[in-house]
Chains A and B, each alone.
Chain A
Amino acid sequence: MRFGDVGRLALENLWRTRLRTVLTTLGVIIGIGALVSMVSFGSGIQHNVASEFRQLELFTLIQVLPGDIDMSDPVASGMQAMEEGVVTLDDETIRALEAIPGVKLVYPEVTFPARLALDDGASQTTVRALPAAISEFKPFSELPYGRFFESDDELSIVVSQRLLEDLGIRLTDVPEPAGRAREDTTVIYRMLHSDEVLGRKLTLSTSVVDAAALMQSVARFEIPSGDLPVREEVTELTIVGILERSGGFTSLGLGGRAIVPPETAERIPRLAISSVWDLIGGGGEDSGYTSVSVRVGSMQDLDAAQEEIEALGLSTVTIADHLEDVRNAFVVMDALLGAVGTIALLVAGLGIANTMVTSILERTREIGVMKAIGGGEWDIRRIFFVEAAAIGLMGGILGLVLGWLVTRLANVIANAYIRPYGVEPTDLFHMPLWLILGAVAFAVVVSLLAGIYPAARAARVDPVTALRHD
Chain B
Amino acid sequence: MSSRARVRREHPLEHILETRSLTKTYHRGTTEIRVLDGVDIAVAPGEFVSIVGRSGSGKSTLLNLIGGLDTPDGGSITVDGHEVASAHPKALALHRRRTVGMVFQSFNLITTRTALENVTLALAFGEFPRAKRRERATSLLTSVGLAERVDHRPGELSGGEAQRVAVARALANDPAILLADEPTGNLDSATSAEIIALLRELNRDHGLTVLMVTHDHEGAREVSNRVLTLLDGRVVDEEVVRS
Contacts and interface: CB of A to CB of B under 8 A. Distances in A.
Interface of A: 1-2, 4-5, 9, 16, 365-366, 368-379, 463-464, 467, 470
Contact of B93 (A2, A5, A374): A374
B121 A370 contact: yes
B105 to A, nearest CB: 10
A374 B126 contact: yes
Interface string B98-122: 1000101010111010000000011
A372 B125 contact: no
B70 A1 contact: no
A365 B108 contact: yes
B96 A467 contact: no
Contact of A374 (B104, B112, B125): B125
A374 B130 contact: no
Given A16-B112, A464-B64, A467-B108, A374 B98 contact: yes
Contact of A373 (B70, B90, B106, B122): B122
A464 to B, nearest CB: 5
B98 A373 contact: no
B71 to A, nearest CB: 10
Contacts of A372: 67, 69, 96, 102, 104, 108
A463 B122 CA distance: 15
B67 A373 contact: no
Contacts of B109: 369
Interface string B154-197: 00000000000000011011000000000000000000000000
B213 to A, nearest CB: 14
A1 B97 CA distance: 11
A379 B64 CA distance: 20
A379 B173 CA distance: 17
Contacts of B126: 374
Contacts of B93: 371, 374-379
Contacts of B130: 2, 4-5
Interface in B107-155: 108-110, 112, 121-122, 124-127, 130
B97 A373 contact: yes
Contacts of A371: 69, 93, 96
Nearest to A373: B122
B125 A379 contact: yes
Nearest to A375: B125
B56 interface: no
Contacts of B81: none
Nearest to A376: B93
Interface residues of B, number: 29
B127 A2 contact: yes
A292 B80 CA distance: 92
Contacts of A377: 89-90, 93
Given A464-B64, A467-B108, A374 B89 contact: no
A1 B125 contact: yes
Contacts of B169: 373
Contacts of A467: 69, 104, 106, 108
Contact of A376 (B90, B124, B173): B90
A369 to B, nearest CB: 5
Given A5-B130, A375-B93, A370 B108 contact: no
A464 B124 CA distance: 22
B124 A369 contact: no
10 contacts: A5-B130, A369-B108, A369-B109, A371-B93, A371-B96, A374-B173, A375-B97, A377-B93, A379-B93, A379-B125
B198 to A, nearest CB: 19
A183 B81 CA distance: 95
Contacts, number: 73
Contacts of A9: 121, 124
Residue of A365, A369, A374 with highest tally of chain B CB at under 10 A: A374
Contact of B125 (A4, A366, A373): A373
A1 B127 contact: yes
User: Most chain-A Cβ atoms within 10 A of its Cβ — which of B89, B93, B102?
Assistant: B93
A9 B110 CA distance: 12
Contacts of A470: 106
B112 A464 contact: no
Contacts of A370: 110, 121, 125
B110 A369 contact: yes
A5 B110 CA distance: 16
Contacts of B170: 373
B70 A374 contact: no
Given A379-B125, A464-B69, A374 B108 contact: no
A379 B90 CA distance: 10
A229 to B, nearest CB: 104
Contacts of B122: 373-374
Contacts of B67: 372
B188 to A, nearest CB: 20
Given A365-B108, A379-B125, A374 B90 contact: no
Contacts of B127: 1-2
Nearest to B181: A467
Contact of A464 (B70, B121, B125): B70
Contacts of A365: 108
Nearest to A365: B108
A374 B97 contact: yes
Given A5-B124, A374-B93, A375-B93, A366 B110 contact: yes
Given A2-B127, A374-B96, 15 more contacts: A9-B124, A369-B109, A370-B121, A372-B102, A372-B108, A373-B96, A373-B97, A373-B102, A374-B125, A375-B125, A376-B90, A376-B94, A378-B90, A463-B70, A467-B69
Contacts of B98: 374
Closest 7 CB pairs of A and B: A374-B97, A376-B93, A374-B125, A5-B124, A373-B122, A463-B69, A374-B96
> Most B CB atoms within 10 A — which of A16, A376, A377?
A376
Contacts of B94: 374, 376
B178 to A, nearest CB: 13
A369 B104 CA distance: 10
A13 to B, nearest CB: 9
Most buried by A among B102, B108, B170: B108
A368 B125 CA distance: 14
Contacts of A464: 64, 69-70
Interface string B1-15: 000000000000000
A2 B131 CA distance: 13
